[in-house]
Amino acid sequence: MANYVYVDNSNVFIEGKRVSAVVKGLALDIWQAHENRILDNEYRLDFGKVHQFAAGDDPDNIARAMLFGSRPPANDSLWDIARRVGFETVIEDRNVANKEKKIDTGIVTQMLRDAYTRVRKADDVITLVGGDGDFVPAVRQLVSDGYVIEVYFWDHASRELKDVCSKFVPLNQYLDHLRA
C-alpha cells in the first residue's frame, strides 16, 4: 500500500491557529474565532509531525507528499524545513490584492493527475490535509471511481467534505502533538 499526501499549508496552519485560540479561551468557539479573525499567533505547526502523521512512519509506503502554499517572505524557512522532512513543495505567488490563489485548484489538479496515472485503486490511499468545500467535487468523483480518500483536518472541516470522503480524521485532538 502506498500513500499519496496533499497538504493545503495555509489552510491547515491558519485553522490550527484558530483551534488553538479556542482551546486557550481567546474565542468561545471556532465560529466566533472565524467571524472575529481570532488566532493564536503563538501556535506553530511542526510540518515534520504533519508529514509523519498524514503520510505514516514508513518511508517505503509514501509514494508522494506534496505541500502547497503561497510564496513566503524571503526570510521564512518553512519551505526548506518542509522539503527536508520529505515534502515536495508547490509555491504560488499571491495575487495583486495579496490573496492566496491557485492553491486548492493546484491540489485538485495534482490529486486527479496522480489518481489516474499513478495510484493503484485497490492498494493505495490518497490523503488530503485540507478542509474546505472546494475539494468536494474532486473527492466525490475519486471515491465514486473507487479510490480511497482520507481527509485529515480540524473538526470544523466542510460537512460535505467529511461526508463524501472515505475516512475523516479530525486533528483537534492532536493539536499539541502537531505543535512545533
Answer yes or no: is 19 within a domain.
Answer: no
Residue type, 178: L
Answer yes or no: is 133 within a domain.
Answer: yes
Domain count, the chain: 1
Mean pLDDT of 119-144: 96
What is the distance between the alpha carbons of residues 116 and 164, in angstroms, rounded to a whole number? 19
What is the distance between the alpha carbons of residues 125 and 41, in angstroms, rounded to a whole number? 33
Reported as a single tens digit per residue, the pLDDT across 51-88 is 788 887 777 788 888 888 776 555 555 667 666 667 77
- pTM of the shown model: 0.90
Answer yes or no: is 151 within a domain.
Answer: yes
For residue 51, count other CB atoms closer than 10 A to its CB: 21
Note down the domain range covering 148.
3-11+44-174
Q: What is the CATH number of the domain that holds 142?
A: 3.40.50.1010
**Whole-number percent of the chain with pLDDT over 70:** 89
Answer yes or no: is 39 within a domain.
Answer: no
